Amino acid sequence: MSSPPISVAAPAAHARLTAERSAVAAVAILCLAAWGGLVAEAIRSARTDDLFNVLCGPSALGATSTGVLSQLPAVFVLWLVMNVAMMLPTSVPMVLGFVDTLGERRRPAPGWYPLVLIAGYGAVWTAMSATAAMVQAALTSLATLVTLPAPAAAVLTGAVVGFAGLYQFSDAKGRFLGACRHPVQALPVGRDGAAAVFRLGMDQAARCVGCCAAVMALMLVAGMMNLAWMGLFALVMTIERLSSGALASRLIGIGLIAAGLLLAISGVGFDRLVAVLLAR
């Protein structure tokens, strides 16, 4: 009686499953650690046991007007942790597709390559965090020199929110969103070394930055977000990327434009605006 044939594909399938599990576990651990750190920082800065104030109140994620340069490292770390918590989960489809694509090749890549891909993705967001921290420090320093009246500040904030909404309708947003929904999953044949995998992760992260440009601008305006807004933005970006077509992106844009108009009108005053319009 002959023994049943041994499947040659079984070891490759096991290696693929191991690579997928290790990559997803790494993303999950980093994200949980990031959210845990943000919650701990919010509790520390709020100095209260009131859950509402911890989640919805202003957190220590905004730099103060004193000692801006001395706070720059801490602000950078907070931006980095925030970006890990919000953006790293979006890399999971890219990683899984990458593992599946490499598994179909005759010469499969090492199982730790997905971790290299995640490292390349994280390198771009690290640079983005450093840039955002420096821009925020510059804006904070400028705010100490130039004090805008409350109405002007409200109008300016409303304009930034409105422009973020308009960006949702741009061709660039559509291209970046398409790249995020269908991430790059394969390497060119003959260029499958660790350096090429790292660059692939960087390329995908750069597209992700372009897709999230409006959210980044809003965070800069708000001086980095509290936990409630961060969770809301993370949910909105997830829905936008998991949906198909342009409907979700346009609805978000309409909401941002409406919010920007309301902010600007609140600064000017609705009664004053009506009086100006009637006078014409």
Which DSSP string corresponds to 213-261? HHHHHHHHHHTS--HHHHHHHHHHHHHHHHS-SSHHHHHHHHHHHHHHH
On whether residue 94 sits in a domain, the answer given is yes
**Cα separations in angstroms, 105 against 16, 101, 187, 188, 267:** 11, 7, 11, 12, 60
Q: Which two tokens stand for residue 278?
A: 């009637």
Which pLDDT score, from 0 to 100, does residue 67 have? Answer: 59
Residue 139 pLDDT more than 50?
yes
Q: Which two tokens stand for residue 32?
A: 């949980």
Rounded mean pLDDT, 203-207: 90
On whether residue 86 sits in a domain, the answer given is yes
Residue 74 pLDDT more than 90?
no
Residue 63 pLDDT more than 50?
no
On whether residue 3 sits in a domain, the answer given is no
On whether residue 78 sits in a domain, the answer given is yes
Residue 49 pLDDT more than 60?
no
Q: Which two tokens stand for residue 185?
A: 């999953």
Which pLDDT score, from 0 to 100, does residue 62 have? Answer: 45
On whether residue 5 sits in a domain, the answer given is no
- Find the domain containing 52 and state its range: 10-279
On whether residue 197 sits in a domain, the answer given is yes
Between 205 and 143, the higher pLDDT residue: 205
pLDDT, the chain, mean: 76
User: What pTM was estimated for this model as a whole?
Assistant: 0.76
Rounded mean pLDDT, 262-268: 80
CA-wise closest residue to 216 among 124, 143, 104: 124
Rounded mean pLDDT, 221-229: 63
Which pLDDT score, from 0 to 100, does residue 91 have? Answer: 81
CA-wise closest residue to 100 among 178, 185, 24: 185
CA-wise closest residue to 237 among 225, 226, 248: 248
Least confident of 2-11, 150-159, 182-191, 216-225: 2-11
d(CA 277, CA 271): 10
The count of structural domains within the chain is 1
Least confident of 55-59, 212-216, 242-246: 55-59
Which pLDDT score, from 0 to 100, does residue 257 have? Answer: 92
Which pLDDT score, from 0 to 100, does residue 245 have? Answer: 82
Residue 184 pLDDT more than 80?
no
CA-wise closest residue to 85 among 3, 154, 7, 27: 27
| Terminal-to-terminal C-alpha distance of the chain | 99
On whether residue 237 sits in a domain, the answer given is yes
CA-wise closest residue to 101 among 174, 181, 185, 170: 185
Rounded mean pLDDT, 114-136: 89
- The answer to whether the beta carbons of residues 115 and 23 sit under 8 Å apart is yes
On whether residue 260 sits in a domain, the answer given is yes
Count CB-CB contacts under 10 A for residue 64: 11
